[in-house]
């Protein structure tokens, strides 16, 4: 086995017991190949971006799968869309045999389309993000995620796993979670890697998937969007800034989300008050990439940048989502909440566990007036709990139903 242990490994192994095919999706360079080989180190491996591997399957796929009817990893599967139809026949020939194939891919539009059309009920989809902080430090997933296993009650807040320190969290927050630059690079080497990543993403991945796309306009879109991370996106304003049409902005947002660089949070519309804002907000998913695109070269620069709070908010939300994705929890959703009167909550989680509102603050102390919206939201819905995540050094009850949680606990 190779590479760092990832939180999601046990979930993938479980899914291989249930499905013939597991498909691991995620952005470039997040570790999909390392993870696949770590989970199945003895399996045969083919990378469809290597011409010789592609040709080995393409020239006679029937013969290929007769040779490798199981225990096979196929990397960058979206490169050969026809493989999904071929796999359907291979799987259906032995419908009761699970744990046969692991596929990976960096482009969800192609993979999701072909999976839905040909492998429905035969394949499980798993999303792999960049490294979560506990993965970088090779610590277990926090006990925080145990509270989602059943209905949330305040009494569940008993932590056995020690938290990461604020300093440890800050390193991953600033540098982001792409494994290679986080683990192996410093200074200018790190910046050069990020620049190469951005350019490869635009000039290779996007150019191949969307050959008619205006690459210059799309690169400008990336730069402007990084400055709007963690805000409600006004497509009309963005279109004017880019000098393109609003439908083009909609297309660009779909592309960046479906290639795993951007996450959209829908508005929480189950509101007692009718004045809720319904437009979605979003953020650059990897904080290191956000800081590179925003030309923030150091932590000192970040501390003095107007993006500080927005960056910390996006980092915390993505850390929580990565943690939840690694559990066996199903049928859950995440939202943000804002009313026209200015009431706002950064993250609302909903699922079988109930409704959990979370407010995120960069500061290490909290005043009640700063969390008035959270207190009101909890009271109006008679929720058992609301959480404030910040840079404090201890778990502390702020009110009877609002608990302060240091960022290292997530």
Task: Give backbone dihedrals phi and psi of 274, rounded to 5 degrees, phi first.
Answer: -80, -10
Q: What is the spatial distance between Cα 292 and Cα 290, in angstroms, rounded to a whole number?
A: 5
Q: What is the spatial distance between Cα 74 and Cα 32, in angstroms, rounded to a whole number?
A: 11
Per-residue pLDDT of the chain (410 residues; tens, 9 = 90+): 346 899 999 999 999 999 999 999 999 999 999 999 999 999 999 999 999 999 999 999 999 999 999 999 999 988 888 888 899 999 999 999 999 999 998 876 666 776 767 788 899 999 999 999 999 999 999 999 999 989 988 775 667 777 899 999 999 999 999 999 999 888 889 999 999 999 888 888 888 878 888 888 899 999 999 999 999 888 998 999 899 999 999 999 999 998 899 999 999 987 555 576 778 899 999 999 999 999 999 999 999 999 999 999 999 999 999 999 999 999 999 999 988 887 899 999 999 999 999 999 998 888 888 899 999 999 999 999 999 999 998 898 999 899 999 999 99
H-state helical runs in 95-245: 108-118, 133-136, 166-175, 179-184, 187-200, 207-209, 215-227, 235-242
Q: What is the spatial distance between Cα 385 and Cα 358, in angstroms, rounded to a whole number?
A: 9
**Cβ atoms < 10 Å from Cβ of 96:** 5
Q: For residue 18, which of 149, 124, 126 has the smallest C-alpha distance? A: 124
Q: For residue 314, which of 364, 261, 354, 278 has the smallest C-alpha distance? A: 261
Q: What is the spatial distance between Cα 302 and Cα 305, in angstroms, rounded to a whole number?
A: 5
Q: What is the spatial distance between Cα 185 and Cα 351, in angstroms, rounded to a whole number?
A: 39
The beta strands (E) that lie in 11-144 are given as 21-25, 44-47, 72-75, 101-105, 123-127
Structure confidence at residue 2 (pLDDT): 46
Q: What is the spatial distance between Cα 365 and Cα 384, in angstroms, rounded to a whole number?
A: 23
CATH classification code of 9-127: 3.40.50.300
Residues in the chain: 410
Residues linked to residue 360 through DSSP beta bridges, in sequence order: 389
Structure confidence at residue 1 (pLDDT): 38
Q: What is the spatial distance between Cα 410 and Cα 145, in angstroms, rounded to a whole number?
A: 8
The C-alpha angle with vertex 364 and arms to 292 and 230, in degrees rounded to 5, equals 40
DSSP collapsed to 3 states, 157-184: CCCCCCCCCHHHHHHHHHHCCCHHHHHH
CA distances from 175 to 52, 194, 365 (A): 36, 10, 25
Q: What is the DSSP letter of 373?
A: H
CA distances from 115 to 18, 32, 76, 111, 112 (A): 16, 18, 14, 6, 5
Global pTM reads 0.92
Q: Give helix 246-258 / helix 235-242 axis angle, nearest 10°.
A: 100
**Cβ atoms < 10 Å from Cβ of 67:** 10
Positions of CATH 3.40.50.300 in the chain: 9-127
Element (H, E) at 106: none
Q: Which two tokens stand for residue 258?
A: 């479906």
Q: For residue 108, which of 245, 211, 209 has the smallest C-alpha distance? A: 209
């Amino acid at each position: 086995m190779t590479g760092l242990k990832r939180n999601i490994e046990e979930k993938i192994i479980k899914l291989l017991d249930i499905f013939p095919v597991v498909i691991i999706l995620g952005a470039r360079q997040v570790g999909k190949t390392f993870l696949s080989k770590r989970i199945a180190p003895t399996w045969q491996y083919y990378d469809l971006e290597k011409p010789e591997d592609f040709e080995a399957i393409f020239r006679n796929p029937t013969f290929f799968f007769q040779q490798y009817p199981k225990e096979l990893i196929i990397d960058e599967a979206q490169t050969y869309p026809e493989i999904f139809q071929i796999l359907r026949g291979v799987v259906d020939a032995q419908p009761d045999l699970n744990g046969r194939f692991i596929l990976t891919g960096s482009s969800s539009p192609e993979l999701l389309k072909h999976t839905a059309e040909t492998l429905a009920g035969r394949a499980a989809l798993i999303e792999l993000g960049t490294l979560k902080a506990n993965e970088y430090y090779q610590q277990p997933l926090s006990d925080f995620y145990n509270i989602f296993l059943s209905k949330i009650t305040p009494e569940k807040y008993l932590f056995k796993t020690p938290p990461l320190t604020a300093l440890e969290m800050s390193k991953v927050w600033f540098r982001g979670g792409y494994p290679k630059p986080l683990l192996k690079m410093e200074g200018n080497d790190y910046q050069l890697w990020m620049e190469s990543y951005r350019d490869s993403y635009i000039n290779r991945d996007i150019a191949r998937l969307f050959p008619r796309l205006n690459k210059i306009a799309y690169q400008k879109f990336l730069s402007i969007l990084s400055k709007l991370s963690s805000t409600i996106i006004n497509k009309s304003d963005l279109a004017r800034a880019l000098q393109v049409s609003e439908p083009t902005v909609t297309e660009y947002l779909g592309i960046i989300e479906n290639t795993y660089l951007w996450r959209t949070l829908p508005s929480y519309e189950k509101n007692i008050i009718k004045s809720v804002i319904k437009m979605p907000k979003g953020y650059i998913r990897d904080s290191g990439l956000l800081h590179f695109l925003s030309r923030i070269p150091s932590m000192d620069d970040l501390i003095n940048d107007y993006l500080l709070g927005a960056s910390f908010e996006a980092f915390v939300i993505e850390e929580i989502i990565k943690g939840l994705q690694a559990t066996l929890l199903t049928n859950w959703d995440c939202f943000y909440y804002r009313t026209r009167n200015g009431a706002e909550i950064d993250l609302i989680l909903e699922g079988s566990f109930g409704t959990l509102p979370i407010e995120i603050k960069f500061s290490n102390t909290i005043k009640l007036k700063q969390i008035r919206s959270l207190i009101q939201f909890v009271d109006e819905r008679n929720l058992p709990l609301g959480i404030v995540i910040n840079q404090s050094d201890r778990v502390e009850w702020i009110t009877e139903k609002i608990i302060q949680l240091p960022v290292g606990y997530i």
